[in-house]
Amino acid sequence: MLQGAALKTHLQKLSDKYGFIAVGVAAARKLTEEEDRLKSWLGKGYHGTMQYMENHFEKRLDPTLLVPGAKSVICFLNNYYPERRQNPDAPKVAKYAWGEDYHRVIKDKLYDLVAELQTESGPIEGRIFVDSAPVMERQWAAIAGLGWTGKNSLLLRKGVGSYFFIATIICDLELDPDLPVNSHCGTCTACIDACPTQAIVQDGVIDASKCISYLTIERKSDIPEAFQPNMEGYIFGCDICQDVCPWNQFSTTHNEPRFEAGTWINWDNRAWQNISEFVFDEQFGKSAITRAGFSKIRKNMEFVLPQNK
């Protein structure tokens, strides 16, 4: 059985084999340095109506409460930057939701990776997380040396950008941790300046209740009229703060067939306006867009494109 550096080298090879763009390791421990920041963010109501963010506070900070006996947090990055573009005469959908739901796609890959890893490491006790539990993925990925927290709060990686998903395996493998990297944002404020709803309230801090992604996905009640002039055509999610980031000039096309968009990518505004629930389910049944649902998407279109009411 492999151990130490040899096991970590094997992990890197498996990461490459399964199409991840990077893997890093952090020692499992309580994120004491994040405790006050999380309390402050919640206390200011920046989570909006996402009440679930208030739940499992201690588990968010301490992965050993999610996986007793955990020694390592293994973090993976999975590129989702698309080659194609939406029809410019259409409501906008954030790029991460163009293909099949990333939760399912990445979990499938990680289950296979773990099965193969165990043939060299022996039995592994742990859990796979893909944005599906109280795990602070971005913070762990930064600690694991995969990038730094940008001013838009997203993880940025030098020479790559930010168009990637983060997944974690919290487990009992004892692996040498990687070292964090320095921030390379410098004096750039492109993301802050570009945010049309001014949701980036300070470096690395987002008032989610103002964020277009929150408004078009998480907010269940009607979007306040004050936001109507600032939606920039988005009906699901938002890419503005990523599109303007200089580091995303290095983005390269993903190699995951399951992230390819369906024929809807060519729809124009009229096609979107005429969409039925049946067609919606047919086109987006496996997509993350189902998180919002047909009725919410219809309402978002009416709000974003009021002339079509």
- Is residue 131 annotated as a catalytic residue, yes or no? yes
The pLDDT of residue 305 is 83
Q: Phi, psi (5° rounding) for residue 194? A: -85, -20
The pLDDT of residue 2 is 86
Report the 10 Å Cβ neighbour count for 5: 10
Q: Phi, psi (5° rounding) for residue 155? A: -75, 130
Query: Which residues on adjacent β-strands are paired with residue 74?
Result: 25, 169
Establish if 263 belongs to a structural domain: no
Exactly one of 62, 89, 101, 131 is catalytic; which is it? 131
Establish if 90 belongs to a structural domain: yes
Question: How many whole angstroms separate alpha carbon 204 and alpha carbon 155?
Answer: 10
Pairing of strands 205-206, 155-156: unpaired
Provide the residue-wise pLDDT of the chain in tens; the chain has 309 residues: 888 899 999 999 999 999 999 999 999 999 999 999 999 999 999 999 999 999 999 999 999 999 999 999 999 999 999 999 999 999 999 999 999 999 999 999 999 999 999 999 999 999 999 998 899 999 999 999 999 999 999 999 999 999 999 999 999 999 999 999 999 999 999 999 999 999 999 999 999 999 999 999 999 999 999 999 999 999 999 999 999 999 999 999 999 999 999 999 999 999 999 999 999 999 999 999 999 999 999 999 999 986 544
- Note down the domain range covering 150: 4-171
SS3 22: strand
Is the distance from CB of 304 to CB of 297 less than 8 angstroms? no
Nearest 5°: the CA angle 57, 59, 64 is: 155
Written as six digits, the tokens of 15 are 């990461």
Query: Which residues on adjacent β-strands are paired with residue 289?
Result: none
DSSP 217: I
Task: Count structural domains, the chain.
Answer: 1
Establish if 285 belongs to a structural domain: no
Question: How many whole angstroms separate alpha carbon 241 and alpha carbon 154?
Answer: 9
Q: Phi, psi (5° rounding) for residue 232? A: 55, 30
Establish if 274 belongs to a structural domain: no
Establish if 209 belongs to a structural domain: no
Strands (E), 80-130: 92-93, 126-129
Place of tokens 């990925």: 141
Nearest in space to 304 (alpha carbons), one of 237, 231, 223, 239: 231
Nearest 5°: the CA angle 140, 95, 77 is: 25
Establish if 123 belongs to a structural domain: yes
Pairing of strands 234-236, 92-93: parallel
Place of tokens 């893909």: 130
Contact residues for 40 (Cβ-Cβ < 8 A; gap 6+): none
Establish if 211 belongs to a structural domain: no
Q: Phi, psi (5° rounding) for residue 263? A: -65, -15
Establish if 237 belongs to a structural domain: no
Any idea what the CATH number is for the domain that residue 59 is in? 3.40.109
